Amino acid sequence: LTSSQTSPGLHVVHIAAEMAPVAKVGGLGDVVAGLGKALQKKGHLVEIVIPKYDCMQYDLVRDLRALDVVLESYFDGRLFKSKVWVGTVEGLPVYFIEPLHPDRFFWRGQFYGERDDFKRFSFFSRAALELLLQSGKKPDIIHCHDWQTAFVAPLYWDLYAPKGLNSARICFTCHNFEYQGTAPASELGSCGLDVNQLNRPDRMQDNSSHDRINAVKGAVVFSNIVTTVSPTYAQEVRTAEGGHGLHSTLNFHSKKFIGILNGIDADAWNPATDAHLKVQYNANDLQGKAENKEDIRRNLGLSSAHIRRPLVGCITRLVPQKGVHLIRHAIYRTLELGGQFVLLGSSPVHHIQREFEGIANHFENHDHIRLILKYDDSLSHSIFAASDMFIIPSIFEPCGLTQMIAMRYGSIPIVRKTGGLNDSVFDVDDDTIPVQFRNGYSFLSADEWGVNGVLERAFDLYTSKPDSWQQLVEKVMNMDFSWDSSASQYEELYSKSVARARAAAHTQ
């Protein structure tokens, strides 16, 4: 292992469970890659550490090679070896940790959802810090994400700073407070953390179950900077209704807690260059968008009888958070209103997957409805390009990326007013919002009437005022949702935290 070269900017290391496009389940993967690239462009040295999963997309890693040292890290009372690989993903240097543990932690054919996830990721968190220590790196910021790498924060301050890996401030981003990584307190001991010290109400003890520890709570308590992925969501999780049990902890630590809206990767999501599309297009050439609509209708077997029949798209994980009952209702309501609906989604929840399979079968040869129940990145690009409207009726939504991607492809977002959707979609009929920001449709009440009202308003503009609709499409395509401004906010947080630490060190 070699220590990192010096760089005029900050040295930032992300430790995460996902990174797009090689290992992506949801928005977390997009953020690690998108924020990483944006900070690299601003002159910072950014490195990523992720597990080496068997199911990664290896063809998207450049120059992958194993380092010729073996990493030894503590777990369950002894040392285990890990192989470390290094490669480049989208221009970012990435370390892949492959534990040589008999349980073959990342050799399971899937990223998450294993019975021993807590063990797998607490092992990984410790091995990642061990890698930084043994390679002599001196990062300014260690940025960990979600419960899977939340262990990094207490491990850093309790074990690794005393060992000499002490140059860094810790930043923790929670992408979804629904998932907190709780387990019986004793399980925390496996990665070397002191259960007696940490299973306390002001440290890692779960707020509702006193014999359990909570990884996300630990990261909130032990990190220097805590962020989540939109300003509205940051407010919501500080309330008893929205905090998933962590509101009191977040309020106590509110000084270091902030919501920053995610950006989207403007290179990966660009209709003018997107190789997945039948025809590339831009805001000044919407004929190309119409051709993509025609193409998908043909490919999916939908009727092409009326070019001006609006196509509503929906691309999502089918989980309760996403308002699955409202999605189901929107399908039927769209049909009644004379539109077409394409859903691309899959569900880790068995009964939801079965329910949607039933709907998919019901509409199997229908002229106007198609449900495709799988994960398909390439098809998702075609649907963004083909659709006129894009519906996201989430019950809660930390940030949401699909509303921003939809706009970039000229599909007008129809969203529930919550979390990051509330920070990025502004209703065209809302007089309290300056006209230049209005870019879609939103509704508040999470029921059928809410969905009916918003769909009717969107269909009405589409059919009765085609010119206004086209202007709206051109306007949203020109809005900037790239990482630039969000990355600047992270840069400022990092720099301030590093400056505070240096000032404190000088006065000691």
Residues in the site for ligand ADP, rule: CB under 6 A?
Answer: 26-27, 30, 315-317, 344-346, 375-377, 380, 399-402
Residue 327 Cβ vs ligand ADP, minimum distance, rounded to whole Å: 12
Of the pair 413, 450, the CB lying nearest ligand ADP is at 413
Written as one string, the DSSP assignment of 180-191 is: --EEEGGGGGGG
**Closest residue by beta carbon to ligand ADP:** 27
Q: Give dist(CA 407, CA 389) in Å, integer.
A: 9
Q: Give dist(CA 206, CA 202) in Å, integer.
A: 10
Of the pair 469, 481, the CB lying nearest ligand ADP is at 481
Identify the DSSP state of 6: P
Closest C-alpha among 218, 103, 248, 230 to residue 155: 218
Q: Give dist(CA 108, CA 113) in Å, integer.
A: 10
Of the pair 224, 402, the CB lying nearest ligand ADP is at 402
Given a contact cutoff of 8 angstroms between Cβ atoms, the answer to whether 241 and 396 are in contact is: no
Instruction: Kindly report the three-state secondary structure assignment for every residue of 268-314.
Output: CCCCCCCCCCCCCCECCECHHHHHHHHHHHHHHCCCCCCCCCCEEEE
Residue 420 Cβ vs ligand ADP, minimum distance, rounded to whole Å: 8
Of the pair 280, 346, the CB lying nearest ligand ADP is at 346
Q: Give dist(CA 267, CA 501) in Å, integer.
A: 35
Strands 78-89, 62-75: pairing is: antiparallel
Written as one string, the DSSP assignment of 114-157 is: -TTHHHHHHHHHHHHHHHHHHTT---SEEEEEHHHHHTHHHHII
Residue 400 Cβ vs ligand ADP, minimum distance, rounded to whole Å: 4
Residue 233 Cβ vs ligand ADP, minimum distance, rounded to whole Å: 11
Written as one string, the DSSP assignment of 469-482 is: HHHHHHHHHTS--B
In 3-state terms the chain splits into helix, strand, coil percentages (rounded to 5) of 40, 20, 35
Of the pair 122, 316, the CB lying nearest ligand ADP is at 316
Of the pair 137, 408, the CB lying nearest ligand ADP is at 408
Residue 90 Cβ vs ligand ADP, minimum distance, rounded to whole Å: 15
Residue 359 Cβ vs ligand ADP, minimum distance, rounded to whole Å: 15
Closest C-alpha among 116, 120, 198 to residue 154: 198
Of the pair 346, 452, the CB lying nearest ligand ADP is at 346
Given a contact cutoff of 8 angstroms between Cβ atoms, the answer to whether 418 and 394 are in contact is: yes
Of the pair 199, 402, the CB lying nearest ligand ADP is at 402
Q: ω into residue 21 within 30 of 0, thus cis?
A: yes
Residue 318 Cβ vs ligand ADP, minimum distance, rounded to whole Å: 8
Of the pair 33, 170, the CB lying nearest ligand ADP is at 33
Residue 401 Cβ vs ligand ADP, minimum distance, rounded to whole Å: 4
Residue 264 Cβ vs ligand ADP, minimum distance, rounded to whole Å: 8
Strands 92-99, 78-89: pairing is: antiparallel
Q: Give dist(CA 113, CA 93) in Å, integer.
A: 27
For residue 78, list its beta bridge partners. Answer: 75
Of the pair 27, 310, the CB lying nearest ligand ADP is at 27
Residue 500 Cβ vs ligand ADP, minimum distance, rounded to whole Å: 31
